[in-house]
Amino acid sequence: MSTPHQADHARARGLRRGRHAGDCSVSSNDVVVERWEREPLLERVAAHLRGPAGPPGPDRAPAVAIGSVNLDHFTHFGRGRLDLANEPERTGVDWVMLADGAPVAYRAKLATGREWPRLTGADLLPDLLRCAQQAGASVGFLGGAPAVHEALREVVARDFGGVDAAFWSPERFEIDSPTGSVRIAHEIRERGVDLLTVALGKPRQELWIQRYGRLTGSRVLLAFGASADFLAGRVERAPRWMQDNGLEWAYRLRQEPRRLARRYLVEGPPALTRIARTREL
């Protein structure tokens, strides 16, 4: 039986075998985070969107699933918590986990001695939509309120002209039902969505992608939470100086205290201890 340390190294080898991975990776509490610069990541997504058509198989690589790792991620995933194993051959989904939270990027920097870019879903989503626009790929948004989707329609039409966009705003019971999720995944496949943003909140969005991502037929899946809300202008980003100094959480807490108080004030401190032993792989 392998030790947790050996398992981490096996995962790291898997990250680098047969696909373009980040230039290094770290592990915190069995969560692997890859270091990517923005441009190489966008190039990888663009190449994947231009790849062979058809379902994942011998002639088409598994879907790329991009996740954002912040302290909230460690509340749900990692050792002793939910498993999000990166096994593309089994699931048809190849995870790329990025440092979203400032504490995650800081610990990764200490472990590797290298600057570690924060790549947040809110910052990346417009660039990824431009990748889809340039590749002639279609996009879809799963999750979020109908009002957000109405605003998104206007934003996509205005800023990403020519992009075919589809929207699904199911009730929670539909997403939590295997039958409902399979039906939604088949609808997404029938619509031919190439890049799908899944905004269901942690841990539901990651688990949905893991279980049903293959069925959607999408080439790229984004577990980006509130990124669509930011893009639609329904939620305001923190000022840049707060983002750069790891204070975006405080700004969001002030905006939505009832919804976010537990995440940041109750669950956040224990999650912070889970990244204390971040190490390079």
Phi, psi of 157 (to 5 degrees): -65, -35
Give percent of the chain with pLDDT exceeding 70. 89
Task: Identify the H or E element spanning 98.
Answer: strand 93-99
Q: What confidence score (pLDDT) does residue 57 get?
A: 54
Which ranges in 117-177 belong to alpha helices (H)? Answer: 121-135, 146-159, 172-176
- Output the average pLDDT for the chain: 88
| Contact between residue 86 and residue 14 where contact means Cβ atoms under 8 Å apart | yes
What SS3 state is found at 105?
Answer: helix
Ramachandran category for residue 222: left, alpha or beta (phi over 0 → left; psi -120 to 50 → alpha): beta
Q: Span 136-146, mean pLDDT?
A: 94
Q: Span 113-128, mean pLDDT?
A: 94
Q: Span 73-90, mean pLDDT?
A: 93
Q: Span 246-261, mean pLDDT?
A: 86
Question: Which residue would you say has higher pLDDT here, 112 or 233?
Answer: 112
Residues 257 and 264: their CA atoms lie apart, in Å, by 10
Total domains present in the chain: 1
List pLDDT tens digits, range 220-244. 999 998 898 899 888 888 888 888 8
Q: What confidence score (pLDDT) does residue 64 get?
A: 96
Least confident residue range of 55-59, 81-85, 133-137: 55-59
Q: What confidence score (pLDDT) does residue 259 get?
A: 87
Domain of residue 249 covers 4-280
List pLDDT tens digits, range 162-181. 999 999 999 999 999 999 99
Q: What confidence score (pLDDT) does residue 213 get?
A: 96
Q: Span 29-38, mean pLDDT?
A: 95
Q: What confidence score (pLDDT) does residue 100 get?
A: 94
Residues 137 and 220: their CA atoms lie apart, in Å, by 10
Q: What confidence score (pLDDT) does residue 19 get?
A: 45
Q: Span 85-98, mean pLDDT?
A: 94
Question: Which residue would you say has higher pLDDT here, 167 or 248?
Answer: 167
Q: What confidence score (pLDDT) does residue 243 get?
A: 85
Residues 215 and 195: their CA atoms lie apart, in Å, by 13
List pLDDT tens digits, range 181-201. 999 999 999 999 999 999 999
